[in-house]
Amino acid sequence: MHIHLDISNALSFLPGGSLEAMEPVVGEAHDRLLSGSGPGSDFLGWIRLPSRTDPALLHRIREEAMRIRELADIFVVTGIGGSYLGARAVLEALDPAFPEVRKGEKIPRILYAGENLSSDYHSALMELLDRHSVAVAVISKSGTTTEPAIAFRLIRGHLERKYGKQEARKRIIAVTDAAQGALRDLSGIEGYSTFVIPGDTGGRYSVLTPVGLLPVAVGGFDIFRLVEGAAEAESLLCRKPDTALNPASLYAATRNLLWRHGKTIEIQVTWQPNLVYFTEWWKQLFGESEGKEGKGIFPAGVNFSTDLHSLGQYIQQGPRNLFETVLSVDRPVTDLPIPSDPENHDGLNFLAGKTLAEVNRLAEQGTIMAHVEGGVPNIRISIPCLNEQHLGQLIYFFEFACGLSGYILGINPFDQPGVQEYKKNMFRLLGKP
Contact 142, 181 (CB under 8 A): yes
Return all residues near 257 (Cβ < 8 A) that are at least 6 apart.
14, 18, 19, 22
User: Is residue 288 among the annotated active site residues?
Assistant: yes
> Of residues 59, 240, 354, 423, which has the active-site annotation?
423
Look at residue 76 and give its three-state secondary structure. strand
Q: Is 432 a catalytic residue?
A: no
Q: Is 317 exposed, middle or buried (0-12, 13-18, 19+ CB in 10 A)?
A: exposed
Q: Write down the catalytic residue from 100, 309, 343, 373.
A: 309
Phi, psi of 105 (to 5 degrees): -130, 140
Which of these, 100, 107, 106, 125, lies nearest to 115 by C-alpha position? 125
Identify the active-site residue in 266, 288, 324, 388: 288
68 in Cβ contact with 218 (< 8 Å): yes
Of the candidates 382, 376, 411, the one whose C-alpha atom is nearest the C-alpha of residue 394 is 382
**One-letter identity of residue 115:** E
Contacts of 320 (CB under 8 A, 6+ apart): 262, 375, 376
β partners of residue 337: 355
Cα distance between residue 412 and residue 409, in whole Å: 9
423 is catalytic: yes
Known catalytic residues are 288, 309, 423
